[in-house]
Chain A
Amino acid sequence: DIQMTQSPSSLSASVGDSVTITCRSSQSIFTYLNWYQQKPGEAPKLLIYGTTSLQTGVPSRFSGSGSGTDFTLTISSLQPDDFATYFCQQSYSTPPYTFGQGTKLEIK
């Protein structure tokens, strides 16, 4: 299986800050990388697919980049609604589709 490793595991930031979350895969997944946001008690929500494409309705302060084995999710000008846990997920080749362990973004 392809292993997905996120860093950091947790992160504190203030409203208005810009933050970057990193996701690394154990082998090249080209650009088959998706990002999800999860709030407590809720299911994850798709934010970004194919490394850089924003899901419909997702604010433009979210952006993704990378290719191969290294990927980033950047949130510029953090809003109160952005404090949540973020997961990356690879969808390269055949299943299983594996997820990163998550990055919890907390208010400083």
Chain B
Amino acid sequence: QVQLQESGPGLVRPSETLSLTCTVSGGSISSLYWSWIRQSPEKGLEWIGYMFDSGTTNYNPSLKSRVTISGDTSKNQVSLKLKSLTAADTAVYYCARMSRFETTMVVDYWGQGTLVTVSS
């Protein structure tokens, strides 16, 4: 059974950089697609990006200039960095695994989510 657990600060100041870590158990980050998705009342569910092949990334164009997703295979962890934060980045951040089911990409495992508030 794959399990994902997000960790990181719950409060970050405007203009700073958010750093979140996702620890994966029951599966290797060396295969499949490891994603970050966020959810807020204002924007709903927003796909941030994913990493696959332990380093190749694909980001949402709306966030691309501010986002970095990376992996540490020795710890089986995936990390998210989001810089130049504003209040609009306040959201629940989910770590998630994406897989190809037949011909379609799905999110088949999610972490429990972590609330990040951007405020001074």
Contacting A at CB under 8 A, from B29-76, are 44-47, 49-50, 58-62
Contacting A at CB under 8 A, from B69-120, are 94, 96, 101-108, 110-113
Interface size of A by CB at 8 A reads 27
Please determine whether B44 and A99 come into contact, CB atoms closer than 8 angstroms.
Answer: yes
A66, CB-defined interface residue at 8 Å: no
Q: Which of A49, A50, A96, A101 contacts B47 (CB 8 A)?
A: A96
A89, CB-defined interface residue at 8 Å: yes
Please determine whether B44 and A49 come into contact, CB atoms closer than 8 angstroms.
Answer: no
Interface-central residue, A36, A43, A101, by most chain B CB under 10 Å: A43
Please determine whether B104 and A97 come into contact, CB atoms closer than 8 angstroms.
Answer: no
Secondary structure type dominating chain B contacts: strand
Contacting B at CB under 8 A, from A38-71, are 42-46, 49-50, 53, 55
- Chain B residue contacts of A50, Cβ below 8 A: 101-104
Q: How many Å lie between the Cα of A43 and that of B95 in the bound state?
A: 10
Interface-central residue, A45, A87, A99, by most chain B CB under 10 Å: A99
Interface-central residue, B49, B102, B107, B113, by most chain A CB under 10 Å: B107
Please determine whether A95 and B111 come into contact, CB atoms closer than 8 angstroms.
Answer: no
Please determine whether A91 and B44 come into contact, CB atoms closer than 8 angstroms.
Answer: no
Q: How many Å lie between the Cα of A96 and that of B96 in the bound state?
A: 15
Query: How close is B21's CB to chain A, nearest CB, in angstroms?
Result: 17
Given known contacts A36-B107, A95-B49, A95-B50, A43 and B102 CB-to-CB distance under 8 angstroms: no
Q: Which of B46, B58, B60, B94 contacts A43 (CB 8 A)?
A: B94
Given known contacts A32-B104, A50-B103, A99 and B110 CB-to-CB distance under 8 angstroms: no
- Chain A residue contacts of B49, Cβ below 8 A: 95
A94, CB-defined interface residue at 8 Å: yes
Please determine whether B112 and A97 come into contact, CB atoms closer than 8 angstroms.
Answer: no
Query: How close is B71's CB to chain A, nearest CB, in angstroms?
Result: 17
